[in-house]
């Protein structure tokens, strides 16, 4: 779980809650889900967009046992487009080059409603020093 800066301009931060072992809308077991809890000032949830494979604007290629949603981490607006970015792990995403479950890091650019505007996937090859 992580605090996310205010997405919708109401002055209240949001919460990103990962459920890495949840089933995605596609039916893939343990593919993982991320909820963006949009809060009102008293702390109650006014909306809870769900982000998973094929849901909430997320186009990432998570599959069975990807475990997407691990360690959501806010990054701020790293590309200057006015949207908040969030790093999210998927510790068992399949790497077709290595033919193994190597995991991936996703960067999600969030819309004001908590849905995903853009996403980028980085596997071990892209993250190697």
Q: Which tokens sit at 11? A: 């002055």
Q: What is the pLDDT of residue 94?
A: 62
Radius of gyration of the chain (CA): 14
Ranges of residues in the chain whose predicted pLDDT is under 70: 61-63, 94-101, 127-129
CA distances from 82 to 8, 14, 51, 65, 118 (A): 11, 16, 20, 33, 13
What pLDDT, in 10s, does the model give residues 119-128? 998 887 776 6
Global pTM reads: 0.88
How far is 86 from 76, CA to CA, in rounded Å? 7
């Amino acid at each position: 779980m992580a605090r996310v800066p205010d997405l919708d301009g109401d002055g209240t931060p949001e919460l990103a809650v990962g459920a890495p072992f949840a089933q995605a809308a596609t039916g893939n077991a343990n593919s993982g889900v991320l909820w963006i809890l949009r809060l009102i000032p008293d702390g109650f949830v006014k909306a809870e967009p769900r982000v998973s494979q094929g849901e909430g604007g997320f186009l990432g290629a998570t599959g069975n046992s990807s475990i997407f949603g691990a360690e959501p981490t806010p990054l701020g607006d790293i590309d200057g487009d006015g949207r908040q970015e969030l790093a999210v792990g998927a510790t068992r995403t399949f790497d077709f080059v290595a033919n193994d479950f190597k995991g991936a890091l996703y960067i999600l650019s969030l819309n004001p409603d908590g849905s995903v505007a853009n996403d980028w996937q980085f596997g071990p090859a892209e993250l190697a020093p």
